[in-house]
Structure 1
Amino acid sequence: MKAVFMTDRGKVRLHNEDNGGIFMNSHGQRLAIVADGMGGHRAGDVASDMTIKHLKVLWETSAKIQTAEEAENWLEESVLQVNHKIYEHSLKNTECEGMGTTIVAAICTNLFATVVNIGDSRCYLLNESGFKQLTEDHSLVNELVRSGQISKEDAEHHPRKNVLLRALGTEESVEMDVKTIIFEEEDVLLLCSDGLSNKVSQEEMESIITDKEMSFEDKAAEFIKRANQYGGEDNITLAIVEYQEFNEGR
């Protein structure tokens, strides 16, 4: 596997409330995560930081994932644990009241990738069929698009574009979407916060991700550069993972 993680405060925000990383367990399997925190008094960065730290510890001590069912169960159970921790923390600390975070995460093995998401941070897949968005945003605007009340073009400039229907840590329980895909040689996953997807079009993303002349680090830096060129009003965070055959530990 080749993988890179990058985050940037952007050009407007005083703080970076995004977080994430790419972590390996003792069996050589990777977990990529992007979390976009929200909440007043800088509590958003508390929620995203708690999410990443807790999932990192759980992953680094996890058993080897051998089936899609194991991957899906691990993500569901671990994300529910994190939801409980964030929610309890917000109840006990008034400055963190109402805080939460989006999450998109992917377990990457030799056979498949399993993706979980809550909120509007996204996962895209590049494979032999092309470049497409794998996840569905849990947002008011996306529901309006899905129900046919507004067009995708209208959604781009809708005044309530940032209203989320689901977030991690804001309520006692949370629903998440989990899906598993076949992950094959040269397939690429792009995970990102809306600071990237709101600014850089899917067509532009595809042109960058498929550029054979650019290194992984250069591609990540180019994504952030473009989002900042187009305004950079939000924090910008992304993780890229490309499948390459590797030997998973026993």
Structure 2
Amino acid sequence: MLGYFLTDTGRVRNHNEDAGGIFYNMDRQALAVVADGMGGHRAGDVASFLAASTLHKKWKETKGFDSPEKAELWLNEQIHKVNDVIFEKAIQNEEYQGMGTTVVAAICAEDFVTVGHIGDSRGYVSNSFGFTQITEDHSLVNELIRSGQLTPEDAEHHPRKHVLLKALGTEKNISIDTKTIGWEQDNLLLLCSDGLSNKVSDEELHRYLIEGDSLEHSAHQLVSLANERGGEDNISLAIIHHSSDEGDE
């Protein structure tokens, strides 16, 4: 399974509050993570780093999963533990009060992908059915779209577009969305922060993903496109290719 992670500060902000990576466990299954932090005094980068590093540490100690049920249970438990870590650190340190982060994490096994997320960082899959968003944003505008109060077109320019309804670390009790999809040879998985999805359409995401010379090439092209269109936010993405080639990871 090939993977590539890329994060970029963008063209406006002076530091990067995104974190993530692609990590492998003892059975060579992959865990991809993208976290988009928020909070004053650089606390957002603390929250996102804690999310990514804590999941990475636990994943290294984990053997592979042979069923979606086990993968979903592990992901749900570990993201809840990360929430506790961030929440407690915010309580203990005044400068970190109110910090939080989105997270989207995917366990990539041989024949399934299990995704867990909270916030508006997204997961997409490219397979024989096309290109599909497999997460649903926990945001105010998405809830307004779901209830019929807002069209997707109007949501693009809504003044409260960045308001989240849920995030990791901002409260003691959280609920996480988890789901599992089938995963076959040559399928592609994309995880990204809203610094990318707010600037690049789904159609463009898919095209750059499948037409790139390599995962690295696709990732850099997508980041460049988001920056060309303003780059007001940090931009992060993780791409996993279901491939038998164990070459360049």
Q: TM-score, normalised by structure 2?
A: 0.97
Kept in 2: contact 1:122–1:194 (CA 8 A): yes
1:17 is aligned to 17
2:225 is aligned to 226
Instruction: State the alpha-carbon separation in 2 of the partners of residues 204 and 25 from structure 1.
Output: 32
Instruction: State the alpha-carbon separation in 1 of the partners of residues 58 and 245 from structure 2.
Output: 22
Question: What SS does the aligned partner of 1:91 have?
Answer: helix
Deviation at 1:245, TM superposition (A): 3.5
1:236 is aligned to 235
Kept in 1: contact 2:2–2:245 (CA 8 A): no
Instruction: State the alpha-carbon separation in 2 of the partners of residues 147 and 46 from structure 1.
Output: 34
Deviates more, 1:58-67 or 1:226-235: 58-67
Code of the residue aligned with 1:202 in structure 2: it is D
Kept in 2: contact 1:110–1:246 (CA 8 A): no
Deviation at 1:103, TM superposition (A): 0.3
1:39 is aligned to 39
Kept in 2: contact 1:110–1:245 (CA 8 A): no
- Report how many aligned residue pairs link the two structures: 246
Instruction: State the alpha-carbon separation in 2 of the partners of residues 195 and 104 from structure 1.
Output: 14
Question: What SS does the aligned partner of 1:210 have?
Answer: helix
Deviates more, 1:237-246 or 1:18-27: 237-246
Question: What SS does the aligned partner of 1:166 have?
Answer: coil
1:142 aligns with 2:114: no
Deviation at 1:63, TM superposition (A): 2.6
Deviation at 1:206, TM superposition (A): 1.3
Q: TM-score, normalised by structure 1?
A: 0.97
Alignment gaps of 5+ in structure 1: none
For residues 187-229 of structure 1, the C-alpha deviation after alignment (integer angstroms, 9 at most, x for no partner) is: 1000000000000111111111121x52110000001000000
Kept in 2: contact 1:33–1:104 (CA 8 A): yes
Matches within 5 A, 1:150-229: 150-211=150-211, 214-229=213-228
Alignment gaps of 5+ in structure 2: none
Instruction: State the alpha-carbon separation in 1 of the partners of residues 105 and 205 from structure 2.
Output: 19
Which aligned runs of 4 or more in structure 1 are off by greater than 4 angstroms? none
Instruction: State the alpha-carbon separation in 2 of the partners of residues 246 and 230 from structure 1.
Output: 34
Code of the residue aligned with 1:21 in structure 2: it is G
RMSD: 1.0
Instruction: State the alpha-carbon separation in 2 of the partners of residues 98 and 73 from structure 1.
Output: 28
Kindly, what percent of the aligned residue pairs are identical?
Answer: 55
Instruction: State the alpha-carbon separation in 1 of the partners of residues 188 and 34 from structure 2.
Output: 16
For residues 5-55 of structure 1, the C-alpha deviation after alignment (integer angstroms, 9 at most, x for no partner) is: 000000000110000000000111100000000000000000001111111
Instruction: State the alpha-carbon separation in 2 of the partners of residues 40 and 83 from structure 1.
Output: 18
Instruction: State the alpha-carbon separation in 1 of the partners of residues 210 and 148 from structure 2.
Output: 32
Question: What SS does the aligned partner of 2:104 have?
Answer: strand
Kept in 2: contact 1:8–1:237 (CA 8 A): yes
2:76 is aligned to 76
Instruction: State the alpha-carbon separation in 1 of the partners of residues 245 and 26 from structure 2.
Output: 14
Instruction: State the alpha-carbon separation in 2 of the partners of residues 3 and 63 from structure 1.
Output: 19
Evaluate the alpha carbon distance shift between residue 69 and residue 17 of structure 1 in structure 2; reply closer, same or farther with a 3 A threshold.
same
Code of the residue aligned with 1:36 in structure 2: it is D
Deviation at 1:246, TM superposition (A): 7.1
